[in-house]
């Protein structure tokens, strides 16, 4: 137990020595490099292309010297040169390529915008889904922040709860103490009452016994001769009384 | 405007003066990794300009196909020469 106590005391010092960077503001050592990944910049605008295959920069490159028609003249001259010198040979494949190019240009012109809109829609849906995830995460984190703040506010009010609880406990203790006091009082009173009752009983019994004893002794002392004498005396008294009573009536 | 002196090696092709062209060509990196990086740089530049963009049209793909057509015509020119119409040009 003492070793554990010693470890607990030494733990902060040990932690500070093992990870010196952690004790001073944790956020400073991390994220020292520039963050490249977030937020991702949107896709740039594409390079412009004229007639499907010639970059716009070519036309701009020739514009200062030859004006607007320069590249077209260059193209025409080149084409005529290639045809006349038969660097480009006209054969069956020329016809095939012309048909194919015509068809390709027609298809692109007719269905290009629809395909582009479809691709854009897919892109937007993906972006919206990612955005939704991001917003959900942000909302969730904000709610967490709110609830955390609420918890902190609640923690401030804890001393009210603790005061009430302490008061309750004090009440309980007081009530218990008084109850036990009453019990003690009742018990003591019961014991004392017992002694008092015993004393009273003893007194009563002594009295009764004495009275009985006196009566018994008196009755025993009345001998039969005394009884006869007392009875004759009673009769004489009665007679005199009856005479006096008859006289009064 | 006088920019700071950039060595020939790091200048882009369009900034090189015509007289400096041989020395520029000589200064390029022709090792295996250099050639690979050169191709990769070209690939990245083309794709990031015409294909990996917001409103990419048919241009990027069409340019690639045109290049392929011209390249294959060049490779088969020695055979196509036999199908010429005229003998003397």
Mean pLDDT of A53-82: 93
pLDDT at B56: 83
Higher pLDDT, A157 or B5: A157
DSSP A127-153: HHHHHHHHHHHHHHHHHHHHHHHHHHH
* Residue A126 counted as domain residue: no
pLDDT level of residue A245 (50, 70, 90 thresholds): confident
Predicted-assembly ipTM surpassing the 0.85 threshold:
no
B59 neighbors B50 (Cβ within 8 angstroms): yes
Whole-model pTM? Answer: 0.56
pLDDT of A23 strictly over 60: no
Torsion angle, CA of B34/B40/B43/B44, rounded to 10 degrees? -120
**Nearest chain B CA: its distance from A129 CA (Å):** 18
Cβ B62–A44 below 8 Å, yes or no?
A: no
| Cβ neighbours for A56, distance < 8 A, ≥ 6 positions apart | A47, A48, A49, A50
* Residue A51 counted as domain residue: yes
For B19-78, the pLDDT digits (tens) are 888 888 888 888 999 899 999 999 999 998 888 888 888 888 999 999 999 999 999 999
* Residue A147 counted as domain residue: no
**Nearest chain B CA: its distance from A110 CA (Å):** 13
pLDDT of A97 strictly over 60: yes
pLDDT at A16: 53
Best residue of B59, B79, B85 to probe chain A, by most A CBs closer than 10 Å = B59
| Cβ neighbours for A85, distance < 8 A, ≥ 6 positions apart | B89
* Residues of chain A with C-beta less than 8 angstroms from the C-beta of B50: 46-47, 49
Q: Domain total for chain A?
A: 2
For A100-136, the pLDDT digits (tens) are 999 999 999 999 999 999 998 998 999 999 999 999 9
* Residue A185 counted as domain residue: yes
pLDDT level of residue B80 (50, 70, 90 thresholds): very high
Best residue of B62, B64, B88 to probe chain A, by most A CBs closer than 10 Å = B62
| Domain carrying residue A224 | 162-228
DSSP chain A: -HHHHHHHHHHHHHHHHH-HHHHS-GGGTSS-SPP-SSSPPPPPPPPPEETTTEEHHHHHHHHHHH-SSHHHHHHHHHHHHHHHTTSS--SHHHHHHHHHHHHHHHHHHHHHHHHHHHHHHHHHHHHHHHHHHHHHHHHHHHHHHHHHHHHHHHHHTHHHHHHHHHHHHHHHHHHHHHHHHHHHHHHHHHHHHHHHHHHHHHHHHHHHHHHHHHHHHHHHHS-HHHHHHHHHHHHHHHHHHHHHHHHH-
Higher pLDDT, B20 or A176: A176
pLDDT at A21: 45
pLDDT of A227 strictly over 90: no
Higher pLDDT, B52 or A76: A76
Higher pLDDT, A193 or A156: A193
Average pLDDT, chain A: 86
Mean pLDDT of A230-249: 87
- Residue A67 touches partner B, C-beta closer than 8 Å: no
Which of A28-37, A48-57, A141-150, B30-39 is predicted most confidently? Answer: A141-150
- Residue B66 touches partner A, C-beta closer than 8 Å: yes
Q: What percent of chain A has pLDDT over 70?
A: 84
* Residue A246 counted as domain residue: no
* Residues of chain A with C-beta less than 8 angstroms from the C-beta of B55: 45-46, 116
Domain ranges across chain B: 20-83
DSSP one-letter code for B72: H
CA distances, A244 to each of A230, A236, A238, A240, A249 (Å): 21, 12, 10, 6, 9
Q: Are residues A2 and A83 in the same domain?
A: yes
Mean pLDDT of A71-96: 94
């Amino acid at each position: 137990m003492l070793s554990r106590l010693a470890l607990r005391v030494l733990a902060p010092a040990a932690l500070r020595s093992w990870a010196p960077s952690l004790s001073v503001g944790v956020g400073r050592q991390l994220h020292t490099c520039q963050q490249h990944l977030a937020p991702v910049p949107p896709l740039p605008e594409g390079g412009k292309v004229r007639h499907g295959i010639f970059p716009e920069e070519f036309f701009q490159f020739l514009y200062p010297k030859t004006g607007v028609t320069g590249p077209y003249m260059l193209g025409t001259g080149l084409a005529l040169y290639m045809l006349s010198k038969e660097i480009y040979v006209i054969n069956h494949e020329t016809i095939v390529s012309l048909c194919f190019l015509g068809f390709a240009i027609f298809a692109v012109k007719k269905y290009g915008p629809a395909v582009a809109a479809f691709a854009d829609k897919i892109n937007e849906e993906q972006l919206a889904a990612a955005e939704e995830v991001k917003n959900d995460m942000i909302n969730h984190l904000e709610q967490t922040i709110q609830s955390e703040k609420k918890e902190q506010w609640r923690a401030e009010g804890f001393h009210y709860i603790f005061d009430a609880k302490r008061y309750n406990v004090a009440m309980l203790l007081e009530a218990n103490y008084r109850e036990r006091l009453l019990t003690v009082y009742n018990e003591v009173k019961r014991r004392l009452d017992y002694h008092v009752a015993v004393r009273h009983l003893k007194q009563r019994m002594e009295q009764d016994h004495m009275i009985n004893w006196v009566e018994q002794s008196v009755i025993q002392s009345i001998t039969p001769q005394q009884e006869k004498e007392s009875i004759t005396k009673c009769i004489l008294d009665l007679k005199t009384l009856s005479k006096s009573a008859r006289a009064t009536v | 405007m006088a920019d700071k002196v950039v060595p020939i090696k790091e200048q882009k092709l369009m900034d090189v003066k015509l007289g400096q062209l041989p020395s520029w060509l000589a200064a390029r990196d022709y090792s295996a990794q250099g050639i690979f990086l050169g191709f990769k740089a070209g690939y990245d530049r083309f794709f990031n300009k015409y294909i990996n963009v917001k409103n990419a049209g048919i241009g990027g793909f069409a340019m690639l196909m045109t290049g392929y057509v011209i390249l294959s015509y060049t490779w088969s020119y020695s055979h196509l020469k036999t199908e010429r119409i005229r003998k003397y040009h």
